[in-house]
C-alpha cells in the first residue's frame, strides 16, 4: 500500500505470521490496525459494513472459500467469527491465513481463548521512535540482553519538540491535521466513546457529564498510582456527587475493553528486600494527547513554569505527560522484545522507579524519566539502590531525559534522550 508507514510491530508480525495460521491485531480505534493488516491481506472483510456482516452470518462456510491471507476487520461485530477461524485453524494450520483486527472486546460472547491458534498482537499509538523525530541509536533489546551496550548518539529534539509531540497525538490520522483540526478530532473521538462506544459495549450512560468528569479525573491522574475512588471523586464545578466505586470500576472495565487505558502494573520481584512493594497500577490513557485534550492543555500551558501547582499548566504536570509519552513508547519497545513494562514503589514510598522493563523474573532494566537535559547523582539514586537490591535481575539502568546526547555515566547508568531510544 502506497504511503504506508511501517511500524515497529511489523517486524514481529513478519517473523511470526508464517508460523501461525491466524493472528489478531488489537488496539484502540484509529491507531492503524487496518492499514497494518492490509499490508499482508489478499482480501478484506470489513464487518463494520452491514452487508458484509450479513454475508458472513448467512454463510458460515464463507471463510473457508475466501482468498487468504484475509483481513477480518472489526471482527467483534460478529463474535462467532472467532470460533469459526479457530476451527479452520484446527483443520489446517498452514501459516499466514487469517488476520483479525478489533478495537473492542465483544460483549457477552463466550469465546474459546484461541490459545495456540490465534496469536494476539497489541497495537498502540505511534511511539516516539515511529514519529521520525531523530535517528534512534539505542535499542531496548540490547539493554535487556545484559551486554552493557555502548551508549552514544545525539539529537536535535528539544523540550518544546517533546511538548508538541505530547499534543500531536500518536493516532496516525490526527497527526496529519492542523492543530485546530486535531483538537476537533480528539474531541469527537472522546464524545463518540461516551455516546456510542459505551452503549455498544452494553453499558448505558445515563449521565454523560459524569463519565466526562471521570475521564478528566483519570487524565489528571496521569503517571500516578492514585486510587479509582479518588479518580471518581474528581468533579466539575456544580457537580454535587461523583460516580460510585461500582460505577468507576465499570468505567474502567469498558475503557479497558476499548483499549483506551494502558495502565502500568506494579513489579513484584522475588528478592526479599524488595518484597514489600506497593501494588497499585500507574494510570495512563492510550495516548497522552487524549489526556491533554480532556484537561484543555495546550503548548503554552504545558510549558509554563510560573503557574501554581493547582493549575494545569505547571511543570510537574508537564513531567507527568512526558512520562506518559515515555510509557507509550516503552510499551511498544518492550512488546517487540517479548517483555513487559511495570513500575516499582516500595510500601512507604522511600524508593520509586518509574518503569521496569522485564522478561518475567529474569532480565530487567530500570528506567527513570526526567524532564531535564542534565542528569545529576541525585537523579540516579533510586536506580543505583535498585541495582544494589536486585543485582541478579537488574541488567541495566537508564535515565530517559530531554537532552541532546546519549552516554553512560561513570556509575554505569545510561542517559538516553527519549528520541534516541527504540526497540
| CATH number corresponding to 8-122 | 3.40.50.300
Query: Which residues of the chain have a pLDDT value below 50?
Result: 1, 305-313
Give the per-residue pLDDT at 315: 57
Give the per-residue pLDDT at 154: 98
In whole angstroms, what is the distance from residue 166 CA to residue 155 CA?
Answer: 18
Give the per-residue pLDDT at 309: 41
Closest C-alpha among 122, 120, 105, 96 to residue 43: 96
pLDDT in tens, 210-239: 999 999 999 999 999 988 877 876 655 555
Give the per-residue pLDDT at 349: 74
Domain boundaries, the chain: 8-122, 128-422
Give the per-residue pLDDT at 227: 84
What 3-state class would DSSP assign to 330? helix
Question: How many other C-beta atoms are found inside a 10 Å radius of the C-beta of residue 246?
Answer: 9
Give the per-residue pLDDT at 238: 52
Give the per-residue pLDDT at 162: 98
Give the per-residue pLDDT at 311: 43
What pTM was estimated for this model as a whole? Answer: 0.93
In whole angstroms, what is the distance from residue 61 CA to residue 118 CA?
Answer: 19
In whole angstroms, what is the distance from residue 102 CA to residue 78 CA?
Answer: 11
Amino acid at each position: 500500500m502506497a504511503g504506508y508507514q511501517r511500524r515497529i510491530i511489523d517486524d514481529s508480525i513478519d517473523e511470526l505470521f508464517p508460523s501461525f495460521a491466524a493472528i489478531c491485531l488489537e488496539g484502540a480505534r484509529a491507531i492503524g490496525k487496518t492499514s497494518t493488516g492490509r499490508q499482508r491481506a489478499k482480501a478484506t472483510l470489513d464487518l463494520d459494513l452491514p452487508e458484509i456482516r450479513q454475508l458472513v452470518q448467512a454463510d458460515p462456510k464463507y471463510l473457508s472459500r475466501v482468498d487468504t491471507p484475509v483481513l477480518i476487520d472489526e471482527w467483534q461485530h460478529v463474535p462467532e467469527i472467532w470460533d469459526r477461524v479457530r476451527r479452520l485453524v484446527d483443520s489446517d494450520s498452514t501459516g499466514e491465513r487469517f488476520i483479525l483486527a478489533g478495537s473492542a472486546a465483544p460483549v457477552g460472547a463466550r469465546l474459546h481463548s484461541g490459545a495456540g491458534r490465534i496469536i494476539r498482537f497489541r497495537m498502540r499509538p505511534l511511539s516516539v521512535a515511529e514519529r521520525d523525530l531523530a535517528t534512534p541509536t539505542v535499542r531496548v533489546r540490547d539493554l535487556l540482553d545484559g551486554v552493557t551496550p555502548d551508549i552514544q548518539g545525539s539529537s536535535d529534539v528539544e523540550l518544546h519538540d517533546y511538548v508538541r509531540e505530547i499534543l500531536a497525538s500518536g493516532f496516525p490520522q490526527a497527526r496529519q491535521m492542523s492543530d485546530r483540526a486535531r483538537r476537533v478530532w480528539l474531541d469527537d473521538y472522546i464524545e463518540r466513546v461516551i455516546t456510542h462506544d459505551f452503549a455498544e459495549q452494553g453499558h448505558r450512560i445515563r449521565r454523560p457529564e459524569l463519565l466526562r468528569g471521570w475521564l478528566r479525573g483519570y487524565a489528571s491522574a496521569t503517571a500516578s498510582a492514585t486510587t479509582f475512588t479518588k479518580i471518581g471523586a474528581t468533579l466539575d464545578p456544580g457537580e454535587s456527587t461523583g460516580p460510585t466505586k461500582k460505577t468507576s470500576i465499570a468505567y474502567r472495565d469498558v475503557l479497558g475493553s476499548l483499549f483506551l487505558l494502558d495502565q502500568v502494573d506494579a513489579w513484584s520481584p522475588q528478592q526479599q528486600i524488595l518484597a514489600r512493594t506497593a501494588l497499585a497500577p500507574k494510570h495512563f490513557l492510550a495516548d497522552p494527547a487524549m489526556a491533554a485534550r480532556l484537561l484543555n492543555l495546550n503548548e503554552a500551558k504545558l510549558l509554563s513554569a510560573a503557574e501554581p501547582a493547582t493549575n494545569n499548566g505547571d511543570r510537574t504536570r508537564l513531567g507527568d505527560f512526558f512520562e506518559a509519552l515515555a510509557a507509550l513508547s516503552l510499551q511498544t519497545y518492550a512488546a517487540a522484545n517479548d517483555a513487559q513494562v511495570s513500575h516499582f514503589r516500595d510500601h512507604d514510598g522511600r524508593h520509586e522507579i518509574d518503569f521496569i522493563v522485564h522478561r518475567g523474573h529474569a532480565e530487567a532494566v530500570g528506567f527513570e524519566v526526567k524532564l531535564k537535559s542534565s542528569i545529576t547523582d541525585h537523579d540516579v539514586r533510586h536506580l543505583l539502590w535498585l541495582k544494589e537490591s536486585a543485582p541478579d535481575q537488574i541488567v541495566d539502568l537508564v535515565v530517559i531525559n530531554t537532552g541532546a546526547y546519549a552516554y553512560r555515566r561513570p556509575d554505569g547508568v545510561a542517559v538516553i534522550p527519549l528520541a534516541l531510544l527504540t526497540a
